[in-house]
Amino acid sequence: MSETKKHYRTCNLCEAMCGLEISYEGKKIHSIKGDANDPLSEGHICPKALALGDIYNDPDRLKTPIRKTNDGWEDISWEEAFQEIETKIGAVRSNYGNDAVGIYLGNPNAHILGNNLFLPFFIRAVNSKNRFSASSVDQLPSHFASHYMFGHGFLIPIPDIDRTDYMMIIGGNPMVSNGSLMTSPNFSKRMKNIQKRGGKVIVVDPIKTLTGKKANEHIFIKPETDALFLLAMIKTILDKGLATLGHLENNIEGFEKIKNVTEEFTAEKVARIVGITKEKIEETAIEFANAPSAVCYSRMGASTQSFGGLCQWLTNVLNIITGNMDKPGGPMFTQPAFDVAMMRSNKNKKDSYGRYRSRVKNLPYYNNEFPVATMADEILTEGEGQIKAIFCVAGNPVLTTPNGDRLAEGLDGLDFMVSVDIYLNETSRHADIILPGATGLETSHFDITFNAFAVKNVAKYSPPLFEKTEEQKHDWEILRKLASILSGQPESNLTPEIMLEGGLQASSHAASGMSLEKLKQYPHGIDLGALNTCLQNRVQTKDGNIQLAHPVFIEDLERLKNTYFSDGKTNEAFPFQLIGRRLLRSHNTWLHNSYRLVKGRNECTLIMHPNDASRLNIENGQMVQLSSKIGMVEIEAEISDEIMEGVLSMPQGWGHGKKGVKMKIAQAHPGVSINDLTDHERLDELTGNAALNGVNVNVATC
């Protein structure tokens, strides 16, 4: 007779790493709750966690390989699938060379232990420079800034929110996202604690988000002008003599240069452009500088825009010149038990920035990949070096990258495509073969990526709750096999656990007994303490100093000035600016097949200001046509005075109405895709990140 048991694990859906307590009996899940004993999340979960059970039980989820036929799909064995991949990829390589095989890596790869560990082998075996990932529609500018300032893209400063007195959030909505590059489960409680301590939270966003509402103050800013706002804050702080470098004083290069280059960015000059008064900019700057401890945190809205690299750089500069960097209550650095920044050290390595240029648009290679916004160019443009085959691993770029429809057209023209994915969705429908890995509750977990970005040092290993079935394979088994096929080498016998143990033993925590065995004894996780002052030991620049004014950023200021300090052109055909948003009960593109998350009112709406609506005779709830130079969608209008005039907001991750998808619930709640409007030619030219926000659009009644 079976009995009810409890299983503890880390939720790996988003970056928050919440501890879960799952009650189950045999293969049946009774409940999924927050684990009160998890040292980081202390019992918090969000509605999405329940979807882990829904995914496990989803009849639409694929468990074994399928192959496209003339009139649909057929089941095939793993052997047959691998055999066909070997033959077809072999043909592409011998006809066109290795670079004709492209790779796209989606977001869940960062959240799955096995993928984190086995992708490097797979990538090496594919041996193509045509690599792309969701990073360049997301956080690439943060890596870029860290790379040039601290010497490693993974040395990202994390807000020490549990001790700060003042937090400024630019272009982030952690009340909904639970933090990104700031793993902070229960952000709501953490923010309330700042307020209870007498501290202040201030949000800078073109829309008053849930975070904006709960914060002490919200300031509206015009999309894409954050770099100017930050420059004016920095200039004000320097002018008022409030700058200090604190304990990092002898490790910083370029402070004088910062004074010179910010000279012309006065609050007065930028006020009208950013939509914030001179007085407000100055008052905010002074408040920030005078706070006992403060942290400026800039996220999606400040990354996926035309000046993402400058925003992330200036955010670090602001934190550094106010003496907050690497200090309790400021932005600090993690010391994770699996220490990627130290294991994959950059010291003595050549900079990959610009090592290659993309064939069609001449865009720089960075972080060992090209901007995904140009993936379709590389597929669609004929000639030597054209991509003829794609491996898409745990990604849905047709819905997540700019001008998704154009990419879909490109994928259809490929000689061969493989998706490693658990669903037949908007992207994998273009594949010839889909290889589904076991997922979620069937896998073991240790968060290699997000422990590096958490507001506290913790470590936890979760075994699988349910063993996968005999006929399934783990993603890492698929990747390991593909690596063997594509490299011609025998398949290794490594497992995630063997590699995890290797990583744990390579970190500084090994000296105090960290090991997989030890982790197994603590199913709720181990508390490794608050963030520490440690930057001087972790910085990896050539001379060991922080580069405050690296020329790559200084040069990009010219582009900013050319855009905003010359006569502004208004775009008459597309007078509005479109920005994206995240929803509490939705996760990127792939949780919409969970009924409990999509039921209820339609959330895929276009938020617009009442003045804009009344000028265009649009009523709340009415369907409108939203168009850009790229495409058009029909969407329900939601009128609200919580958005700036001239700005429109719609959620990302929807658009399941496309043909050939097999996700019944999602198809019944399709929504429309924001990336049918975003422009693949709009990039942050410095980093190559897509500028998904600030898209010029028009709106009209249907």
Ligand X SMILES: Nc1nc2c(c(=O)[nH]1)N[C@H]1C(S)=C(S)[C@@H](COP(=O)(O)OP(=O)(O)OC[C@H]3O[C@@H](n4cnc5c(=O)[nH]c(N)nc54)[C@H](O)[C@@H]3O)O[C@H]1N2
Q: Toward ligand X, which CB reaches closer, 486 or 674?
A: 674
Span of 9-17, 435-443, 601-609, 694-702 interacting with ligand SF4 by CB under 6 A = 9-17
Closer CB to ligand SF4, 375 or 666, in the complex: 666
Minimum CB separation of residue 584 from ligand SF4 in Å reads: 9
Q: How far is the CB of 107 from Mo ion (least distance, A)?
A: 5
Judged by beta carbon, residue 285 or residue 692, the one nearer ligand X is 692
With CB cut-offs between 5 and 8 Å by kind, which of ligand SF4, Mo ion, ligand X, none does residue 221 bind?
A: ligand X
Please answer whether residues 214 and 188 qualify as being in contact, where contact means their C-beta atoms are separated by less than 8 angstroms: yes
Specify the residue, 304 or 443, whose C-beta has the smaller distance to Mo ion: 304
**Residues of span 172-191 touching ligand SF4 by CB under 6 A:** 178, 185
**Window contacting Mo ion (CB under 5 A); options: 130-138, 348-356, 380-388, 462-470:** 130-138
Burial 390-424 (b: 16+ CB within 10 A, else e): bbbbbbbbbbbbbbbbbbbebbeebbbbbbbbbbb
Q: Are 82 and 485 in contact (CB under 8 A)?
A: yes
Region near ligand SF4 per CB under 6 A, out of 11-19, 93-101, 156-164, 304-312: 11-19
Of 48 and 460, nearer to ligand SF4 (C-beta) is: 48
Distance in Å, CB of 178 to ligand SF4, minimum: 4
Residue 412, φ and ψ in degrees, nearest 5: -65, -25
Tell which positions 461-520 bind ligand X, by CB under 6 A: 475
Nearer to ligand X, 106 or 323 (CB): 106
How far, in Å, CA of 61 to CA of 663, rounded? 8
Determine which helix (DSSP H) or strand (DSSP E) holds 341, and give its type and residue range: helix 340-343
Tokens of 502: 């290797």
- 204's contact among ligand SF4, Mo ion, ligand X, none, with CB below 5 to 8 A by partner kind, is ligand X
> Tokens representing 301?
């809205």
Q: Which of 79, 54, 52, 55 is CA-nearest to residue 65?
A: 79
Q: What is the DSSP string of 237-292?
A: HHHTT--B-GGGGGGEE-HHHHHHHHTT--HHHHHHHHTS-HHHHHHHHHHHHHSS
B/e letters for 1-11, b = 16+ CB within 10 Å, e = fewer, are eeeeeebbbbb
| The two three-digit tokens of residue 466, written as one number | 């349910």
**What value, to the nearest 5°, has the Cα angle with vertex 635 and ends 632 and 639?**
125
| Residue 176 partner contact from ligand SF4, Mo ion, ligand X, none using kind-dependent CB cut-offs of 5 to 8 Å | ligand X
- Contact between 41 and ligand X by CB under 6 A: the answer reads no
- Determine, following the binding rule CB under 6 A, whether residue 454 of this chain makes contact with ligand SF4: no
SS3 at position 473: strand
Which residues in 174-193 contact ligand X (CB under 6 A)? 174, 176-178, 180
User: Closer to ligand SF4 at the Cβ: 46 or 201?
Assistant: 46
Query: Pattern of binders to ligand SF4 over 43-82, x per CB under 6 A?
Result: --xx-xx---------------------------------
For residue 428, what are the contacts with CB-CB under 8 A and spacing of at least 6? Answer: 392, 396, 419, 421, 434
Residue 362 burial (C-beta neighbours within 10 Å; 0-12, 13-18, 19+): exposed
Counted residue by residue, the chain has a size of: 702
The one of ligand SF4, ligand X, Mo ion, none whose footprint includes residue 274, by CB under 5 to 8 A per kind, is: none
- Residue 185 interacting partner from ligand SF4, Mo ion, ligand X, none (CB closer than 5 to 8 Å by kind): ligand SF4
Of residues 17 through 36, those in contact with ligand SF4 by CB under 6 A are: 17-18
Task: Give the Cα separation of 288 and 201 in Å (integer).
Answer: 11
Q: Report H helices in 442-587.
A: 475-487, 496-506, 516-520, 535-538, 551-564
Helix (H) or strand (E) holding 596: helix 595-598
Instruction: For residues 98 and 118, give the distance between their C-alpha atoms in angstroms, rounded to a whole number.
Output: 20
Residue (180 or 335) nearer to ligand SF4, CB: 180
Q: Where in 523-542 is the site for ligand SF4 (CB under 6 A)?
A: none
Could you give the CA distance from residue 411 to residue 407 in angstroms, rounded to a whole number? 6
φ, ψ for residue 684 (rounded to 5)?
-75, 105
143 binds ligand X (CB under 6 A): no
590 binds, among ligand SF4, Mo ion, ligand X, none (CB under 5 to 8 A by kind): ligand X
* Candidate ranges 13-21, 422-430, 601-609, 617-625; the one touching ligand SF4 (CB under 6 A): 13-21
Question: Do 66 and 80 touch, CB atoms closer than 8 A?
Answer: no
Which residue stretch of 136-144, 418-426, 481-489, 615-623 sits at the interface with Mo ion (rule: CB under 5 A)?
Answer: 136-144
Contact partner at residue 116 from ligand X, ligand SF4, Mo ion, none, CB < 5 to 8 Å by partner kind: none
Select from 53, 151, 223, 275 the one that contacts ligand X (CB under 6 A). Answer: 223
Q: Which of 7, 8, 9, 13 binds ligand SF4 (CB under 6 A)?
A: 13
Single residue of 365, 423, 476, 654 touching ligand X by CB under 6 A? 423
Q: Which residues pair with 603 in a beta bridge?
A: none
Toward ligand SF4, which CB reaches closer, 169 or 633? Answer: 169
Q: Which of residues 282-311 bind ligand X (CB under 6 A)?
A: 299-302, 305
Question: Do the Cβ atoms of 20 and 29 come closer than 8 Å?
Answer: no
Of positions 58, 138, 226, 475, contacts Mo ion by CB under 5 A = 138
CA separation for the pair 27, 556 (Å, rounded): 56
Spatial distance between the Cα atoms of 95 and 619, rounded to a whole number of angstroms: 57
In the set 99, 205, 282, 612, which binds ligand X (CB under 6 A)?
A: 205
Q: What is d(CA 351, CA 390) in angstroms, rounded to the nearest whole number? A: 26
- On whether the CB atoms of residues 10 and 449 are closer than 8 A, the answer is no
Among 21, 38, 54, 224, binds ligand X (CB under 6 A): 224
* Separation of alpha carbons 595 and 664, rounded Å: 10
DSSP helix/strand/coil, 651: strand
Q: Does residue 281 touch ligand SF4 according to CB under 6 A?
A: no
Residue in 220, 206, 223 with CA at minimum distance from that of residue 277? 220
**Nearest residue to 130 via CA among 384, 398, 305:** 384
315, 324, 444, 588: which one contacts ligand X (CB under 6 A)?
588
Amino acid identity of residue 273, one-letter, is: I
Within 665-684, the residues that bind ligand X by CB under 6 A are 674-675, 678
Shortest Å, Cβ 257 to ligand X: 26
Closest to ligand SF4 by CB, 186 or 316:
186
Report CA Rg, the chain.
24
CB of 363 to ligand X, least distance (A): 18
Q: Quick one: 359 or 582, whose CB is closer to ligand SF4?
A: 582
Interatomic CA distance for residues 61 and 468, integer angstroms: 13
**15 near Mo ion, judged by CB under 5 A:** no
Query: Interface residues with ligand X (CB under 6 A)?
Result: 14-15, 106-108, 112, 134, 137-138, 170-174, 176-178, 180, 204-207, 209, 221, 223-224, 226, 299-302, 305, 394-397, 400, 420-423, 425, 437, 439, 475, 579-584, 586-590, 649, 652-653, 674-675, 678, 692-694
Footprint of ligand SF4 (CB under 6 A): 11, 13-14, 16-18, 45-46, 48-49, 178, 185
| Residues near Mo ion (CB under 5 A) | 138
